Amino acid sequence: MARWEPNARERLVVAAIDLFAEQGYDGTAVAQIAERAGLTKTTFFRHFPDKREVLFAGQAVHGRLLAEGIAGAPDGADPLAAVAAGLDRATDSFTPEQREFGPRLRAVVESNAELRERAVFKQASLVEAMSGALRGRGVPERVAAVAAELGGRAFHSAYARWCEPAERRSFGELARRELDELRTAAAELGAAD
């Protein structure tokens, strides 16, 4: 086995998803994931602290991109326009390879209570990244929290739709549409009185 091979992280992710789909999360060991990827167990642990984290490999990148997009939104952009800029920026991390394994990844996470719990935690970290970026723009804390929650809902709804095999729209297009629908629904809350 070579000491260094390109794309080790991505190969580990794909190997893990495939094995989890084939034999279940609990029935898969780190050594099997590394072997399937053509790597060593040591290499696995250089990239991930445990087998659970391999399924959430992109979350840190997503959080960073969302925050960058919000920070880089035009001056004067309202909080939801800034969130939309964050969603646009996050689109860069959604590759055709991810779209291919996305349905399997979602199925593995949904099949395991521990993974569903971890997914909720990771979703909350994305919302916090957006909220922090909004506060950094001077948005009041409560407004930032609500806008970030809407952004988080848009992100996760768009991802679910983006993973559907028949879906051809980009993640960014889906996320913008979801955010627009949430903005409309929020506006209707005030009109309901």
pLDDT tens-digit profile, the chain (193 residues): 444 567 898 899 999 999 999 999 999 999 999 999 999 999 999 999 999 989 888 888 899 999 999 999 999 999 999 999 999 999 988 888 788 888 888 889 999 999 999 999 999 999 999 999 999 999 999 999 999 999 999 999 999 999 888 898 999 999 999 999 999 998 888 765 5
The answer on 79 and 19 residing in a single domain is no
Task: Go through 41-68 and write b for each residue having 16 or more CB atoms within 10 A of its CB, e for each that does not.
Answer: eebbeebbeebbebbbbbbeebbebbbb
Our count of domains for the chain comes to 2
The answer on 72 and 141 residing in a single domain is yes
Residue numbers of the domain that contains 156: 58-191
**28 occurs within a structural domain:** yes
The answer on 29 and 89 residing in a single domain is no
